[in-house]
A and B are shown apart, each in its own frame.
Chain A
Amino acid sequence: MTKVKTQSLQKKGSDLAQSNRQLEILSNGIFQNGELPTFKAKISETSQFPLKAKKLEILQINVGYMCNQVCEHCHVDAGPDRKEIMTRDTMRQCLEVIKNSGAHTLDLTGGAPEMNPDFRWFVEEAAKVGIKDFIVRSNLTIIRANKKYYDLPEFFKKHNVHVVSSMPHWTRGKTDKQRGDGVFDKSIKALQELNAVGYGMPDSNSRLDLVYNPSGAFLPGDQMSMEKDFKKALMEDFGIQFHNLFAITNLPIARFLDYLIASENYEDYMYQLVDAYNPAAVKNVMCTNTLSISWDGYLFDCDFNQMLELPVNSKAKHISEFNEELLEGRNIVISQHCYGCTAGAGSSCQGVVA
């Protein structure tokens, strides 16, 4: 039985809090001795190396690593002890980019993005730009964490925010094992409150999608079947409705990598990822149409590369140097964690891709 963590790897001074240590693990062992092909070798088999960025469609902004939860699988290594928070100045720079870029989707993530003291200001300003799809990734429990967050459902609705929330399972046991004691009950309450203001209702424009990621060292099942099971169970047990379920594969970095190694599942998990490699998923992998911006304004191909401190391969490395033309066509920076996005039907922040 794996113990629920209460501190980030960084706070604990763990070796794995260092991104270079994680990258070392991902490059050594079974990938160094040739037992498994590297991601570069694998995508080269179908002439898909180098992976190149296409037209920018999604701007994903990480407004800080602070979170009220310490989930077992967190690729951000987020938690209450993380102090990295985006400032209003950096947010202003982001707003300029949002206004001028061709991206149709803005995706705010964290940590718990709501914990950034300038979160509401940023949402209000960004909503004025009129971007087509404005996503906030909410962990749900934040809505019930403190009185000051109780009105978030109304706030989201007022600004036409598309809420995307994590829900690892429709049962208490599996959810709390991954996300901490009491998370399930709070999440259910938060979902009911979102439903109460119209989120997730069948004909509602207030979009509420759930994210499912496995609670252990296995890959997600078929997204449509899982969505059916989630909808049936949440409706029958709690009268909860939502729009879509995104099935997301856990990538072997940060706390999930720590868990894989500690539970002696690392090699088996990498085998699973490589065995499930799907070249069709490579074509639509999210890094090809997404740009990830860190709390301090640096640019990355995805949120995972941000956590591994692998910056974009471009002259424009910071939001202050943003140049859409320069960034389009850049070579995507890859390592073995990328197998997580190409397994089975593929995986992205918006669910399957193939």
Chain B
Amino acid sequence: MSKTYYDPADLRKFSKITEWSEELGNKFFEYYGKVFEDGALTAREKSLIALAVAHTEQCPYCIDAYTKDGLQRGVTKNEMMEAIHVGAAIKSGATLVHGVQMMNKVNKLDG
């Protein structure tokens, strides 16, 4: 048994999830593949969104996967970092916007 929760080699085994639930697994991968095709957004734009979300979700597998995917699409380091800042800004903004709730509560209880 592995002594760490995450093993980089496990990413390669992702497709094996279908072995324990074939129908749902296949439906998931079909959906997943479809999502990342060129559409109203280009596959390149989707890859950068995925990279940002990978960071906000703090998923090491996704970070590895979409960093490599970006490189394959010719995405530059600057573009990747800017995308991550978008994720970080939303994360911090989501924390701070709750400050209004705190202010509302203080004003109600002690205003």
Interface residues of A, Cβ cutoff 8 Å to B: 169-171, 173-174, 214-216, 218-222, 225-226, 229-230, 271, 275
Specify which of B12, B68, B72, B77 is in contact with A220 (CB 8 Å cutoff): B72
A218-B68, A271-B12, A275-B12 are contacts. A225–B73 as well, Cβ < 8 Å? Answer: yes
Specify which of B12, B72, B74 is in contact with A169 (CB 8 Å cutoff): B74
Question: Quick one: CB contact mask for B58-72 with A, threshold 8 Å, 1 for yes?
Answer: 000000000010011
Q: Is B43 an interface residue (CB 8 A)?
A: yes
B contact residues, total (Cβ < 8 Å): 11
Once the chains bind, are B76 and A218 in contact (CB under 8 Å)? no
Specify which of A170, A174, A214, A230 is in contact with B72 (CB 8 Å cutoff): A214
A225-B43, A271-B12 are contacts. A219–B76 as well, Cβ < 8 Å? Answer: no
- Per DSSP, are chain B's interface residues mostly helix, strand or loop, or mixed? helix
A171-B76, A174-B76, A225-B44 are contacts. A218–B71 as well, Cβ < 8 Å? Answer: yes
Residues of chain B within 8 A (CB-CB) of A221 are 72-74
Residues of chain A within 8 A (CB-CB) of B77 are 173
Once the chains bind, are A216 and B43 in contact (CB under 8 Å)? no
Residues of chain B within 8 A (CB-CB) of A226 are 73-74
A214 to B71 alpha-carbon distance, docked (Å): 8
What are 13 inter-chain pairs, A to B, with CB distance below 8 A?
A: A170-B74, A173-B76, A214-B72, A218-B71, A218-B72, A219-B72, A220-B72, A221-B73, A222-B73, A225-B43, A226-B73, A229-B44, A230-B74
A72 to chain B, nearest CB (A): 15
Residues of chain A within 8 A (CB-CB) of B44 are 225, 229
A279 to B68 alpha-carbon distance, docked (Å): 24
A222 to B37 alpha-carbon distance, docked (Å): 12
A19 to B96 alpha-carbon distance, docked (Å): 60
Residues of chain A within 8 A (CB-CB) of B74 are 169-170, 221, 226, 229-230
